[in-house]
């Protein structure tokens, strides 16, 4: 009893300096939180505010002189919606290719009875540390006749080595060998075992793979920049680049305005708006799927 009291006393005495530590820590973390959130929040309020108010530095916490003109013009613009449609197609088809190639390869490599698995794994891993580079890869894509097709965005990125490692680690640790032996006794083939037993047991890793690859496709612009020059094939990110950085695509959207000042005003508004419009799909799903991303990093991390 006395010992316990002593112990308690010790803890309360010590916790005074620890308490100061905690308060400062919570406060610093709150500042970090604001630094991360505020730029995002500002984009949202700026997309609804009169650009003159932004220029004059009057928009800080709430939108000023509410306007929807930016969004109206964005919604009327065909290019953006075409880009949206293209991005959705590339993301869906690309992710299907990515996930099926990756999971099949990862499962095969996770099987200890696969003759030559180390050699093949080594072949895969090598590509992480040395690559032919941009130009030779471009020439391969060109020689295969993939330029100006959607496959130029999908096939050269079909498998990410890192994701193979993540999926392989998952299969190795979570599919018990006894299951395979039992299935083999019943005359189950490898393909059937993978499809009927492994995949249903691996839903988390399938989710991780789908998310990693899908975000990659949705966000990429560079492959489209080098492999496509047909504007009708442009994904959303490339159109965004033209609007946000080249300041060009918006000329179509504001052609009815006369004065330069009005043009500049609305094109600012459009910039804030397209950032929101382009990020909305991710913003909607992000809170629900965040834990899968984290899981993916952790599985990869254990191995690394």
CB of 136 to another protein, least distance (A): 3
Handedness of CA 279, 282, 286, 291 (dihedral sign): negative
Residues 194-213, mask of contacts with another protein (x by CB under 8 A): x-------------------
Residues 64 and 125 sit within 8 Å (Cβ to Cβ)? no
Selected binder of another protein within 48, 171, 272, 292 (CB under 8 A): 272
How many angstroms separate the CA atoms of 217 and 238, rounded?
12
Binding segment for another protein among 66-74, 172-180, 200-208, 287-295 (CB under 8 A)? 287-295
Put residue 187 in one of left, alpha, beta given phi > 0 → left and psi -120 to 50 → alpha: left
Nearer Cβ to another protein (13/256):
13
How many angstroms separate the CA atoms of 296 and 166, rounded?
7
3-state secondary structure of 158: coil
CB atoms within 10 A of CB 260: 8
Binding segment for another protein among 29-37, 64-72, 168-176, 200-208 (CB under 8 A)? 29-37
For another protein, the binding residues in 125-144 under the rule CB under 8 A are 127, 129-140, 144
How many angstroms separate the CA atoms of 254 and 21, rounded?
55
Q: Assess 267 for contact with another protein (CB under 8 A).
A: no
Q: Assess 177 for contact with another protein (CB under 8 A).
A: no
CB of 286 to another protein, least distance (A): 6
CB of 113 to another protein, least distance (A): 7
CB atoms within 10 A of CB 164: 21
Nearer Cβ to another protein (40/92):
40
Nearer Cβ to another protein (114/254):
114
Q: Assess 189 for contact with another protein (CB under 8 A).
A: yes
For another protein, the binding residues in 149-168 under the rule CB under 8 A are 155-156, 158-159, 164
Q: Assess 261 for contact with another protein (CB under 8 A).
A: no
Q: Give the residue ranges of DSSP H helices in the chain.
A: 2-46, 51-55, 69-76, 78-110, 117-129, 134-143, 151-154, 161-174, 177-185, 190-193, 199-201, 203-219, 222-227, 236-244, 250-253, 260-303
Pull the structure tokens for residue 10. 């010790």
Binding segment for another protein among 62-70, 173-181, 202-210, 237-245 (CB under 8 A)? 237-245
Pull the structure tokens for residue 186. 């019943």
Selected binder of another protein within 6, 33, 66, 280 (CB under 8 A): 33
CB of 68 to another protein, least distance (A): 19
Nearer Cβ to another protein (223/256):
223
Q: Report how many residues bind another protein under the rule CB under 8 A.
A: 94
Q: Assess 145 for contact with another protein (CB under 8 A).
A: no
How many angstroms separate the CA atoms of 266 and 188, rounded?
64
CA distances from 68 to 92, 186, 248, 271 (A): 31, 65, 21, 13
Residues 237 and 224 sit within 8 Å (Cβ to Cβ)? yes
Binding segment for another protein among 74-82, 120-128, 172-180, 255-263 (CB under 8 A)? 120-128
For another protein, the binding residues in 58-117 under the rule CB under 8 A are 100-102, 104-105, 107-109, 111, 113-115
């Amino acid at each position: 009893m006395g010992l316990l009291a002593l112990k308690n006393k010790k803890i309360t005495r010590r916790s005074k300096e620890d308490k100061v530590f905690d308060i400062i820590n919570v406060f610093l973390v709150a500042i970090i939180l604001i630094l991360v959130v505020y730029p995002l929040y500002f984009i949202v309020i700026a997309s609804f505010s009169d650009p003159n108010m932004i220029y004059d530095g009057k928009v800080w916490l709430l939108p000023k002189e509410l306007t929807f003109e930016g969004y109206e013009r964005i919604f009327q613009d065909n290019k953006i919606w075409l880009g949206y449609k293209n991005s959705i197609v590339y993301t869906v088809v690309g992710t299907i290719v990515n996930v099926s190639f990756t999971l099949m390869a990862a499962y095969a490599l996770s099987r200890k009875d696969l003759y030559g698995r180390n050699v093949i794994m080594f072949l895969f891993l090598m590509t992480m540390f040395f690559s032919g580079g941009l130009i030779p890869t471009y020439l391969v894509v060109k020689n295969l006749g993939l330029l100006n097709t959607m496959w130029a965005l999908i096939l050269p990125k079909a498998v990410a080595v890192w994701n193979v490692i993540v999926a392989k680690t998952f299969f190795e640790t979570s599919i018990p060998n006894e299951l395979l032996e039992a299935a083999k006794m019943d005359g189950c083939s490898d393909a059937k075992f993978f499809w009927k037993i492994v995949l249903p047991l691996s839903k988390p890793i399938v989710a991780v793979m789908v998310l990693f690859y899908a975000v990659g496709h949705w966000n990429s612009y560079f492959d489209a920049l080098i492999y496509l020059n047909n504007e009708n094939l442009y994904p959303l990110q490339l159109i965004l680049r033209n609007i946000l950085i080249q300041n060009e695509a918006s000329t179509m959207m504001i052609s009815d305005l006369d004065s330069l000042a009005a043009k500049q005003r609305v094109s600012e508004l459009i910039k804030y708006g397209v950032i929101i419009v382009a990020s909305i799909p991710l913003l909607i799903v992000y809170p629900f799927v965040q834990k899968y991303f984290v899981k993916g990093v952790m599985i990869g991390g254990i191995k690394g």
